[in-house]
Amino acid sequence: MALDEVMGMNVAEVIKFYGYGGNKKDRTIFMYRDEDENIQAVSFKQFYDKSINYAALIQEIKREKGKTDADRFHIGFFMQNTPEVIYLLGGCAFTNSTLVGLNNAQIGEKLAVDINNMEIDVLFVDEVQQPKTGKTFLENVIVAQKKYGFSTLDQKYIIARKKQKNDHPGSISTIGERLEQHTGSDFTPVPLDSDSPGVIIFTSGTTGAPKGIEVPWKKLFDVGVVSTGMLKYTENDVGYICMPLNHSNSLYLNLMPALLNGARVLIRRRFSATNFVKDIEEVGATIWNSVGDPVMYVVNVLGNDVDYSHLPLRVVISTGTNIQNRNVFSKIFDIDSFIEAFGSTEVGAIAVISPDTPRYCVGEYLPGKDIKILDEDKGLECELANINDKDQIMNFDRAVGEIVVSQKSLGASAFTGYYNLPQESAAKVDKNGYYHMGDLGAAVEIRGKRYLIFLGRTGTDRLRSKGENFSTTFVEDIIANFKKVLNGTVIGIPHVDSTENDNPVYIIEADNPDSFEIDEFFKFCKTELPDYALPGYIRVLNKLPMTDTEKIRKSALLHDFIERTPERDRDRNDILYKIDQGQIRQFRTGDYVEEIKKCADPAIQARFKAVTRRQDLF
C-alpha cells in the first residue's frame, strides 16, 4: 500500500518522495482542463519541480518584506480550481508558509475584511470572470482595495494568475512573469514544522466576520490518512475535484488522500452538472467529493431513468445530500458506497451514514469519537431520543441539545484554533475538553449502535447556504443601507430537499409594504452581497415584532417562517416573496401548501420542527 511508504513523513517529504526519487515520479498526480477543454496531466516530478519554483518565489517575497524563515507568512489565493493552487500548496510546504484560500464568492467590503483579518502577505488572483459579479476576480480585488483598503497587502504583492483578456492593469504582474526570475536551482527548502499552520480555511462565526481555522500540516496529513480508510483510497484510484479547493471538503476528502497514496485527481475549475458524466468518463474517476446540492443538480440534469453503471465511479462522499438524491444517484451510477458525512472544518467528520443508519439520522458515530448531546441551558447530557413509528422524537425537550465532541477522541484532527481570535477559540472548548459544534442534535441508540440526528444551528444568527457558512449580522448590516428599509433581519429555515443547507429569509420593515420596491431591493442585494447569502424569500412587514427592550423577536419570525394563510394573503402589511432562479414572485397560501408537501424526508421534517419550535407542521 502506497500510504505505508510515507507514514511518518511530513507533507513536504511526501511531495519529494513521490516526485524526486523512486518509481512514481512519472505517475500523474493531477489533471485539469485547459482553455480548449482538453485534459492536461501533471506528473509527480513536475509537481515537485513546480513546488520548488513557487517556493523560491515565495522565499524571495518573504525576503523583500523583511521576513525570516521563522516568521509566519500568509500566501492568499483568490482563484477557482487551477493548477496554480496546488503548486502554491507545495510551495508553502517547502517554505514553511501558510496557504489561505479566500472564498470565491466574496466581493467588496467582505473580501477586504477577509484579506485584512488574515493578514495576507501576498495574494495570487484569478484573471477570469468571477461568477455573478460582472467583473473578474482581479478587478474585484482592486475595487475592494481602492474602496476599503488592505492593511498588510501592497498592490505590488497582488499577483495575477495570467493577464486579463481585457484592460489588464499595468501595475499587476503575473505568476509567469515572477517565476521567470526563478528556476529553483539555488533554492534550499526550509525544514517543515508539522505543528505550524499549513492552511487557513474559512468558517463563519456569530460576530459577522468569517473566522480562519488554522490547520497544522500534521492535521492535513492526518485527515488524509482518515479519509484513506473511510474511502478505501488506493494508488489506483482517480479522484474528481469540482468543489472549491479553498474548502475542507476537497482538501480533506480528495486531494490529501490522493497525494498520500500516490494516486491522481482531476480538478475542474468549478462544478458543472452538464459536464459531470463527461469528466468521469474521460479520466476514469472513481471517487467524488461533494457538498450538498451538486448531487441534486446532477440527478436533475441526467434524469432518474438513465444508466451509467459502466462508469468506474465507486464512491461518493458528501455532506447535506438527502436520502432521495443519494438513492437515485447510487442507482444511476451503481456505486459501491455513497458516504454521507457529518462534521465540520474544525474537527473533520464525526459521523457517517452506514447501511443500518435510520433515514432520519445523519450518520453513525465514527469509531472512537466521544460525542455527547448537552442541554444548552444546564450543560448536562441529554437523554437518548425516543423515536416513534413516524420517525418523530417523542421526548424532544429532554433529548435535543448541542452536539459536542471530545478533543482527546479527535486525536490529530482536534480543533486547533481560529487565527488571531484567542477568546473565540477558547470559547469553543469547554472545561471538560469538549469541542462545541454549534449544532443542535439528538442521539438515538439502536441495537447497541449510536446514531446522530442533526436539527439545525444553535442560536439564530448562523446560517449555511450553498455550502458556505455565514453570519446573518453582516447581511443585516448591508440590507439596512437600502433607502426604503426601516429595519431588517435574516432568519434561516431548512430547504425542503436538503438536510444541511439553510434557506435565508430576509424580513424587512417598510412604511408601505404594498408599494415597497422589491425589484430594486433585490438588485441592490445582488450587487452588495455574495451569491450564497442571497435570499430564498423576502418578507416585507410594516412592523417587525419587538421585545420590551426593542430587540427583534426572531423566535416569533421563526415560528411564522414562510407559512401563509388566507388571512395573511389579504394583509397588505405582510407580503412574502419567493426568489426562484433569480425571479421574484409573491408567495401565497397555495404555494405554501405545495411547498410543505415536498418535505417528505423525516430528517428535514425534524429540522423544521426544531427551527420553528412547532409540532403541528406535518
Q: Mean pLDDT score of the chain, rounded to an integer?
A: 91
Phi (first) and psi of residue 213, to 5 degrees: -85, 125
Strand segments (E) across 164-208 = 197-204
For residue 1, name the pLDDT band (cuts at 50, 70, 90).
low
- pLDDT tens for 11-54 read 999 999 999 977 889 999 999 999 999 999 999 999 999 999 99
Mean per-residue pLDDT, 290-306: 90
- One-letter amino acid at 131 equals P
Q: What is the pLDDT of residue 183?
A: 59
Q: In this structure, what C-alpha cell is assigned to residue 413?
A: 484532527
Report the alpha-carbon distance of residue 263 to residue 238 in Å, rounded: 6
Judge whether 206 and 461 are in contact, CB under 8 Å.
yes
Report the alpha-carbon distance of residue 578 to residue 371 in Å, rounded: 38
Q: What is the pLDDT of residue 548?
A: 66
- pLDDT tens for 567-593 read 999 999 999 999 998 899 999 999 999
Q: What is the pLDDT of residue 477?
A: 80
**CA dihedral sign, ordered 246, 478, 609, 547:** positive
Judge whether 221 and 413 are in contact, CB under 8 Å.
no
Judge whether 313 and 286 are in contact, CB under 8 Å.
yes
How large a percentage of the chain has pLDDT more than 70?
Answer: 96
Evaluate if residue 181 carries a pLDDT over 80: no
Q: In this structure, what C-alpha cell is assigned to residue 252?
A: 480533506
Q: What is the pLDDT of residue 549?
A: 62
- One-letter amino acid at 148 equals Y
Q: What is the pLDDT of residue 142?
A: 96
In sequence order, the 6+-apart residues with CB closer than 8 A to the CB of 371 are: 350, 351, 365, 403, 404, 405, 406, 443, 450, 452
- pLDDT tens for 598-615 read 988 887 888 888 888 888
Neighbour tally for 87: CB within 10 Å: 24
Rg (CA), the chain: 24
Q: Global pTM?
A: 0.81
For residue 155, name the pLDDT band (cuts at 50, 70, 90).
very high
Evaluate if residue 438 carries a pLDDT over 80: yes
Least confident of 266-270, 339-343, 404-408, 500-504: 500-504
- Rounded to the nearest 10 degrees, the angle between the axes of helix 108-117 and helix 137-148 is 80
Report the alpha-carbon distance of residue 601 to residue 133 in Å, rounded: 35
Q: What is the pLDDT of residue 173?
A: 95
Evaluate if residue 367 carries a pLDDT over 90: yes
In sequence order, the 6+-apart residues with CB closer than 8 A to the CB of 100 are: 74, 75, 76, 77, 118, 120, 199, 200, 212
Q: Torsion over CA of 52, 53, 58 and 60, rounded to 10 degrees?
A: 110
- pLDDT tens for 78-101 read 999 999 999 999 999 999 999 999
Q: In this structure, what C-alpha cell is assigned to residue 115?
A: 484579506
State how beta strands 315-319 and 287-291 pair.
parallel
- Rounded to the nearest 10 degrees, the angle between the axes of helix 83-93 and helix 44-64 is 70
| Best CA proximity match to 9, nearest among 220, 199, 190 | 220
Report the alpha-carbon distance of residue 8 to residue 21 in Å, rounded: 17
Phi (first) and psi of residue 446, to 5 degrees: -135, 120
Q: In this structure, what C-alpha cell is assigned to residue 529?
A: 452581497
Report the alpha-carbon distance of residue 381 to residue 434 in Å, rounded: 12
> What are the distances in angstroms from CA 221 to CA 89, 210, 261, 596?
13, 25, 11, 44
For residue 206, name the pLDDT band (cuts at 50, 70, 90).
very low
Q: What is the pLDDT of residue 612?
A: 87
Site of grid cell 513557487: 54
How large a percentage of the chain has pLDDT more than 90?
Answer: 70
Render 296-322 in DSSP notation, one character per residue. HHHHHHH-SS---TTS---EEEEES--
Judge whether 77 and 102 are in contact, CB under 8 Å.
yes
For residue 461, name the pLDDT band (cuts at 50, 70, 90).
low
HSE-up (13 A, CA, CB side) for residue 157: 24
- pLDDT tens for 512-522 read 999 999 999 99
Q: Which domains does the chain have, with CATH numbers?
A: 2-212 (3.40.50.12780), 362-457 (2.30.38.10), 462-612 (3.30.300.30)
HSE-up (13 A, CA, CB side) for residue 574: 18
Q: What is the pLDDT of residue 554?
A: 85
**CA dihedral sign, ordered 509, 515, 519, 524:** negative
Judge whether 292 and 314 are in contact, CB under 8 Å.
no
- pLDDT tens for 102-125 read 999 899 988 999 999 999 999 999
Q: In this structure, what C-alpha cell is assigned to residue 472?
A: 446573518
Mean per-residue pLDDT, 139-150: 96
For residue 207, name the pLDDT band (cuts at 50, 70, 90).
very low
Render 228-276 in DSSP notation, one character per residue. HHHHT--TT-EEEE-S-TTSHHHIIIIIHHHHHHT-EEEE-SS--STTH
Judge whether 490 and 506 are in contact, CB under 8 Å.
yes
Report the alpha-carbon distance of residue 450 to residue 472 in Å, rounded: 33
Render 548-587 in DSSP notation, one character per residue. TTS-B-HHHHHHHTT---HHHHH-TTEEEEEEETTEEEE-
HSE-up (13 A, CA, CB side) for residue 61: 28
Q: Torsion over CA of 541, 542, 548 and 549, rounded to 10 degrees?
A: 80
Q: What is the pLDDT of residue 316?
A: 96
Report the alpha-carbon distance of residue 192 to residue 175 in Å, rounded: 24
**CA dihedral sign, ordered 91, 94, 95, 98:** positive
| Best CA proximity match to 314, nearest among 411, 418, 415, 238 | 238
